[in-house]
Amino acid sequence: MEPNGQVVDVIVAGAGPSGTAAALSLAQIGYSVTIIAPAERPADRRTVALLAGSVTFLDALGVWPFVVEKAAPLRSLRIVDGTQRLIRAPEVLFHAAEIGHDAFGHNVANADLTAALARLCNQRGIPRLVASVDRVDMNADLVTAVLDTGETVSARLIVAADGRRSRVRRSSGISVREWTYKQSALVANLSHTQPHHDTSTEFHTEGGPFTLVPLTGNRSSLVWVSHPSETDRRKAEDPAALAREIERRSASLLGAITVDGPVQAFPLSGMATSRFAGQRVALVSEAAHVFPPIGAQGLNLGYRDVAALAGILAGAADPGQVDLLADYDRSRRVDAYTRTAAVDALNRSLLTGFLPVQALRGAGLFILDRVPTLRRAVMRQGIEPG
């Protein structure tokens, strides 16, 4: 298709926390960028644990000063085997100070992060078209986004940040492998009477992880993974009854619990793409990979996608060059595929009743607790890969 609308260097499809960060990153290195995304959705009450590498990335973009006062530091991480199985792992407590960091990262509300990114895009004059990309057409020189409004926008590169059902990815012919789990996640924000001491606590249970992540003040966010029927039952409970169940499950670690606002539930699934780039297309974040909310890897992995893409494209006259996109594809494969496999393996190890797997998981945590060199290496790799 020949362009009959505007032409820019880069189109970013999607205005979530990955899409807006991609727009800021690519504009920062000199490209003209247009964001294309539908109208704002209702406020998302979920939170995201941004690891130290993501905080550094957002600080370099100029976003972090708008977010830091609303973010809670994660200075310690506790893992507790909350199963009732024959073989149980020891409790393990990691401290960021052991690797010279003030915090492993910060927990912040998705809505606050997205608002800060959108504000900075607006301040820097990055235009946004309120529309959806229906499909993309490519030729040797340009990619043209055909919008649901009938308009077209052409560019030398389109960045797909339009989520797990990415229309840009589908139009580009990049295949995916998808899988599901017999699990769903209950998500809520909590108030409590005891301080969290900037410590994130993850209880491993037979149904999946039960994770309490600090928010500012005496507040925490909860992600409780279990069988869908259990999640549905808990979501339908009276808030006071649910709070009592959360308090029991957490062994009253945070004192008396109050459910602060609505409770949400999300089915768990996974997805991996065959490639991270195609003809004048680059995939980032959930357009490229999806896995369960374990170990705070989702958006952090997406930000590493964006940082890698901007680093490879910096200084290039044509951001859609075949060799540059091939470099991007190669650069992201190992990180994304190994993280996806590791999270999948950990999640499945919690679900299995097979004794050798339980023993292996317990032994792994025991070694991490007792071998300082390995312990520090794993912590560093967890927050700043490479």
Q: What is the DSSP string of 212-261?
A: EEEETTTEEEEEEEE-HHHHHHHHHS-HHHHHHHHHHHTTTTTSSEEE-S
DSSP state of 320: T
Higher pLDDT, 310 or 356: 310
Q: Tens of pLDDT along 68-114?
A: 999 999 999 998 876 665 445 567 888 999 989 999 999 999 999 99
CA–CA separation, 191 vs 356, rounded Å?
Answer: 39
How large is the average pLDDT for residues 269-294?
Answer: 92
Indicate the pLDDT class of residue 252, thresholds 50, 70 and 90.
Answer: very high
Q: Are 365 and 79 in contact (CB under 8 A)?
A: yes
**Range name among 172-176, 224-228, 334-338 with the lowest pLDDT average:** 334-338
Q: Is the pTM of this model over 0.85?
A: yes
pLDDT exceeds 80 at position 127 = yes
The token duo for 244 is: 């009592």
Higher pLDDT, 376 or 334: 334
**Edge-to-edge strand ranges of the sheet holding 72-74:** 47-51, 105-109, 72-74
For CA atoms 8, 14, 17, 18, the dihedral sign is negative
